Amino acid sequence: MAAFSISAMQEPRRALPYVAPALALLAFVILIPAVYVLWLSFQQSTFGRAATFVGFANYAKILADPYFWRALGNTVIVVLVVVHVEVVLGLAMAVLFAAGLPFRKLLIAAVLAPYAVSEVGAVVMWRTLFDPDTGFMTRVLTGIGLPPLEWSVVPSHGLALVALLSIWLHLPFTFIILYAARLAIPKDLYEAAEIDGASAWQSFRRVTLPLLMPAILVAMLFRYIFAYRLFSEVWLLTQGGPARSTEVVAVYLYLEAFRYNDFGAASATGWLMVVTSLLLAAFYLRRLYREMFARAD
C-alpha cells in the first residue's frame, strides 16, 4: 500500500494540479498576448476596428521611420552605459564591503535603500537635485566651474539624467549579486596569493575577477534585459521630448499604440524590441555558457 503511494508520487501527471495555476497565469497574461501581438504586427489595426492583413507593411513602416531609429539608438546607448557603470560600481562596492567594514549591516541597509524607491519617487528626487535654477547638484556643478545639466532642453543631457537615475535605482541589485558571489570565494585563495607575494591589485586581478566572472555575466544579462524596458524614467522626466529626441523604444511603442492608435505598428515595434534586446544580450549569453562549461570541465 505504502509502496504503491510512493510510486504514485513519481507519476508526473500528479504534478499538474500544482504547476497548473502558475502556468495558467503566465499563459493568459504573457504567452497568449505575446503570440497575439505577433499576429497583430501583420495587421492593420486600430482600437475598435476589425484588423486586416498587411504582411510586413508595419515592419517596413517602422524601419523607415527615423524616430524609431533614434529611439533604438537612445535605448542602446543608455542601456550600455547603465549596465557597464553599474557593474563597475557594484564590483568596487563588493570589494570594499568584503574587505571588512564596521557597521556592515547598517551600511548594506543604506546601499539597499534605493531598491525601495519607486521610479516616480526617483524622478522627483533627481529632477529636484538637477533643477536648472535651484537644484543642489546644479549649484555643485557651477560651483566647481562645470556647466549645469540642461536636461529639459539638451537631448544628451536628458538621456544622461535618465541614465544616472536608472543606475541609482538598480545598483542595489547588481551590488547584491556581486557581493554574495564575492563572499563565496574561499579565504584560503587570498591567503595563498598573499604568501606568493601578490599585491592587492594582483589578487583582485587573478583571484577575485576570474572567480566573479559568472556572477558578473549573470548580473549583466539580467540588467540588459530589464534596462531595455526603460519607460517610466523617460516618460516622467522628458516625455521623450524635446521634439521626440529623447524617446526610447518603449516610449515610441507607447506613443504608436495609445497616442496614434496604430496597434499594428506598435505590435511590430514590440517584436522588434524583443528581438533587438535578445541580440544585445545574446553576446553575453554566449560568454556565460562558455564560462559555465569551462567551469564544469
Partner 1 sequence: MPTDPAFTPSGLLRLLGKAVAVALVLAWSLGPIALIVSAAFTPERDIFATGVAWRPTFENFVALWQRWGDFFTGLANSFIVTVGATLLAVLTSTLAGFGYSRWRSRFLSGSVFAMIALRLLPPIVTTLPLFPIVNALGLNDTYAVLIILYAAFFVSLGTMVMRTFIDQIPRELDEAAMMDGASQAQIFRRVILPLSAQGMVAVAIFVIVYAWNEFLFAFIFTTKNAKTAPLVLSEMIGSLEGVEWGVLFAATTVQLLPILAFVVLCQRHLIEGLTAGATKG
Show the cell assigned to 155: 537631448
**157 vs 228, which CB is nearer to partner 1?**
228
Residues in 185-224 at the binding interface with partner 1, rule: CB under 8 A: 215, 218-219, 222
Tell me if 50 contacts partner 1 by CB under 8 A. Answer: no
Tell me if 57 contacts partner 1 by CB under 8 A. Answer: no
Minimal distance, residue 59 CB to partner 1, in Å: 15
**67 vs 222, which CB is nearer to partner 1?**
222
Segment near partner 1 (CB under 8 A); pick from 56-64, 79-87, 204-212, 255-263: 255-263
Minimal distance, residue 10 CB to partner 1, in Å: 7
The binder of partner 1 chosen from 116, 243, 279, 296 (CB under 8 A): 116
3-state secondary structure the chain: CHHHHHHHHHCHHHHHHHHHHHHHHHHHHHHHHHHHHHHHCCEECCCCCCCEECCCHHHHHHHCCHHHHHHHHHHHHHHHHHHHHHHHHHHHHHHHHHCCCCCHHHHHHHHHHHHHCCHHHHHHHHHHHCCCCCCHHHHHHHHCCCCCCCCCCCHHHHHHHHHHHHHHHHHHHHHHHHHHHHHCCCHHHHHHHHHCCCCHHHHHHHHHHHHHHHHHHHHHHHHHHHHCCCCHHHHHHCCCCCCCCCCCHHHHHHHHHHHCCCHHHHHHHHHHHHHHHHHHHHHHHHHHHHHHHHHHC
The binder of partner 1 chosen from 138, 166, 238, 277 (CB under 8 A): 277
Show the cell assigned to 38: 505577433
Q: How many positions of this chain bind partner 1 (CB under 8 A)?
A: 92
Minimal distance, residue 47 CB to partner 1, in Å: 6
Question: 204: alpha, beta or left, given left = phi > 0 and alpha = psi -120 to 50?
Answer: alpha
The binder of partner 1 chosen from 278, 282, 292, 294 (CB under 8 A): 278
Residues in 121-180 at the binding interface with partner 1, rule: CB under 8 A: 121-129, 131, 133-134, 136, 168, 173, 176-177, 180
Minimal distance, residue 124 CB to partner 1, in Å: 5
Minimal distance, residue 99 CB to partner 1, in Å: 7
Minimal distance, residue 224 CB to partner 1, in Å: 10
Residues in 62-91 at the binding interface with partner 1, rule: CB under 8 A: none
The binder of partner 1 chosen from 61, 160, 190, 232 (CB under 8 A): 232
Residues in 9-38 at the binding interface with partner 1, rule: CB under 8 A: 9-12, 14-19, 21-23, 25-26, 28-34, 36-37
* SS3 label, residue 118: coil
* SS3 label, residue 57: helix
The binder of partner 1 chosen from 81, 220, 250, 280 (CB under 8 A): 250
Minimal distance, residue 244 CB to partner 1, in Å: 18
Half-sphere exposure of 250 (CA within 13 A, CB side): 18
The binder of partner 1 chosen from 231, 241, 244, 287 (CB under 8 A): 231
